[in-house]
Structure 1
Amino acid sequence: MDYPDDFIHAVLTRTKVIALVGASANAARPSHRVGEFLLTNGYRVIGVNPGLAGQKLFGETVYADLASIPDEVDMVDIFRNRDAVPGIVDAALARWPDLQTIWMQLEITHDAAAQKAQARGVDVIQDRCPKIEIARLGL
């Protein structure tokens, strides 16, 4: 996927709160490392993982699913396999009518789910990592 740098820059600078779907408490897992990086770079990161629901991660309560998060989020960052993406996108669109961004991590793409989100006015980034993009763009 090819995205203009100014588009990625705009997404990352307007985003303040991120729901990290597939968050892990294991520091060796990519989702944990990315969540920690985002946290240290000023983002509020809310973990989503049914196995960790009710626990604290990134200084926040972890939720079983997107529908359970009581707060508004700007971005849903997906660390799940592509088969899970349509359900995650549907849940995100149902939960937050004003959601700004769906972000799919490296090697995760789903064109139909992306098109559905874009039709609702949501920006979509696929097969990219915000940690890598923040470093690359010097944010």
Structure 2
Amino acid sequence: MSQCKLPDYSSIPEEALKIISKTRTIVLVGASPKEERPSHQVMKYLLENGFKVVPVNPGQKEILGQKCYPSISDIPEKEPVDTVIIFRRADMVLPVVEEALSRGIKNIWLQEGIVNEEAQKLAHQNGARFVMNLCFKKAHQLAL
């Protein structure tokens, strides 16, 4: 894992723009019911902007009116998923990426401040798009 630098939002990477343009249903890993948490704020923004959000948090039943699942593998297979956004520490990311790939999710996004090159390599080896250290909400706002 490398040192995490603040992202440059003056130029959104092409990979990120492709994910944003193709995403309608998002699994949000690390969703929080606490309003002050970035994951809560991003989830609220996504819902307000027409995305379907499936929160993942093993300690919650529901967040922002959406049924919460303990893990990605607990989400019913019939639920289509375009993208997973991960709000977890960098050292906790790899198992989440492995689970997302096994579910067939082809767009993986690590939020601002989260960098994991091993997870990136695994995602690319499995044909998935991968973005790290970038806020989906901020990138979406700039892409509009």
> Contact between 1:47 and 1:58, CA under 8 Å: does it hold in 2?
no
The match for 1:89 among 91, 97, 105 is 97
Cα distance per residue 1:40-88 (max 9 Å; x no partner): 1111011000010xx2224321000010011121111000000111100
Identify if the C-alpha distance between structure 1 residues 27 and 4 changes in structure 2 by more than 3 Å, giving closer, same or farther: closer
What RMSD, in angstroms, separates the aligned Cα atoms of the two structures? 1.6
Normalising by structure 2, report the TM-score: 0.86
- Report runs of 4+ in structure 1 exceeding 3 Å deviation: 1-7
Q: Distance in 1 between matches of 2:21 and 2:64?
A: 20
User: Unpaired runs of 5+ in structure 1?
Assistant: none
Q: Distance in 2 between matches of 1:106 and 1:12?
A: 15
Normalising by structure 1, report the TM-score: 0.89
Higher normalized helix content (fraction of residues): 1
Q: Distance in 2 between matches of 1:103 and 1:93?
A: 12
User: Unpaired runs of 5+ in structure 2?
Assistant: 1-6
> Contact between 1:23 and 1:49, CA under 8 Å: does it hold in 2?
yes
Higher relative contact order (CA 8 A, sep 6+): 2
Aligned length: 134
Q: Does 1:102 align with 2:69?
A: no
The code of the aligned residue for 1:25 comes to P
Q: Does 1:73 align with 2:69?
A: no
- Equivalent residue for 1:9? 17
Identify if the C-alpha distance between structure 1 residues 117 and 6 changes in structure 2 by more than 3 Å, giving closer, same or farther: closer
